[in-house]
């Protein structure tokens, strides 16, 4: 499966330039995908002590609009804006789920995915963070690619898998590899051997793809 996706990715290489919602606290870094992957620190993973509740989410978000982080992502990513009802309930609207190339017209059918899942982040270094830093990670609205609105089915298919175990539809694997790598670089997370091998293959299949990220405060 991975090899098939890699072949398709070669023809679909994308340059991904994440935007930010606020002024950056650190200078942005922009490198090729291959360079970014090669610079990821290699380390064994451990899930000892992991609990999803170790990452407080969703919090109140960045805007004083009565919407939490999840709802702010849905509003930011809507292709056609929904109506905002009392209590930040959303009515109408339309979204594009890039993992599985599907249009969605109900906010309730969407999940907001952590690009690098919470469990994977824990395995890769977040277990050593403070509770405040884990909360910042779980509600990261300062980089467009940290949180992504996708169909519930695609998010649950991905679950806590890394790119050695799961990839989205073949046309967007270059984009996905860039966003995954950028998120790991942004938060200083490590990769294990299988993950590094998969990302290295993806970088070879996506020679024109770049990664732009800002180190998290």
Q: Are 40 and 185 in contact (CB under 8 A)?
A: yes
Q: List helix spans (H) across 32-141.
A: 33-38, 69-77, 118-123, 131-138
Q: What is the distance between the alpha carbons of residues 129 and 84, in angstroms, rounded to a whole number?
A: 35
Q: What is the distance between the alpha carbons of residues 97 and 112, in angstroms, rounded to a whole number?
A: 10
Q: What are phi and psi of 173, to 5 degrees?
A: -70, -30
Q: What is the distance between the alpha carbons of residues 139 and 150, in angstroms, rounded to a whole number?
A: 16
HSE on the CB side for 22, CA within 13 Å? 10
Q: Residue 11's pLDDT is what?
A: 41
Query: Using one digit for the tens of pLDDT, what is the confidence trace for 101-128?
Result: 999 999 999 999 999 999 999 999 999 9
Nearest in space to 21 (alpha carbons), one of 136, 145, 106: 145
Q: What is the distance between the alpha carbons of residues 30 and 196, in angstroms, rounded to a whole number?
A: 19
Query: Using one digit for the tens of pLDDT, what is the confidence trace for 71-107?
Result: 999 999 999 999 999 999 999 999 999 999 999 999 9
Q: Residue 27's pLDDT is what?
A: 67
Nearest in space to 117 (alpha carbons), one of 159, 154, 79: 159
Q: Per the structure, how many domains does the chain have?
A: 1
Q: What is the distance between the alpha carbons of residues 191 and 212, in angstroms, rounded to a whole number?
A: 18
Q: Residue 205's pLDDT is what?
A: 98
Q: Which domain holds residue 68?
A: 2-213
């Amino acid at each position: 499966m991975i090899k098939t996706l890699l072949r398709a990715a070669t023809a679909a290489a994308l340059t991904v330039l994440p935007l930010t919602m606020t002024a950056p606290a650190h200078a942005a870094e922009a490198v090729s995908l291959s360079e970014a992957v090669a610079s990821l620190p290699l380390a064994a993973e451990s899930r000892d002590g992991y609990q999803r509740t170790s990452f407080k989410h969703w919090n109140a978000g960045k805007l004083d609009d009565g919407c939490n982080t999840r709802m702010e992502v849905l509003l930011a990513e809507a292709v056609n804006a929904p109506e905002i009802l009392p209590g930040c309930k959303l009515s109408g609207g339309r979204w594009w789920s890039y993992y599985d190339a599907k249009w969605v017209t109900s906010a309730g059918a969407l999940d907001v995915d952590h690009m690098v899942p919470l469990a994977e982040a824990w395995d890769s270094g977040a277990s050593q963070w403070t509770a405040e830093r884990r909360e910042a990670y779980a509600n990261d609205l300062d980089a467009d690619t940290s949180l992504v609105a996708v169909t519930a089915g695609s998010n649950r298919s991905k679950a806590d898998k890394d790119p050695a175990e799961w990839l989205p539809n073949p046309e967007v694997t270059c984009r996905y590899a860039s966003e995954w790598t950028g998120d790991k670089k942004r938060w200083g997370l490590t990769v294990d051997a299988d993950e590094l091998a998969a990302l290295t293959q993806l970088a070879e299949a996506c020679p024109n793809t770049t990664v732009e990220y800002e180190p998290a405060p």
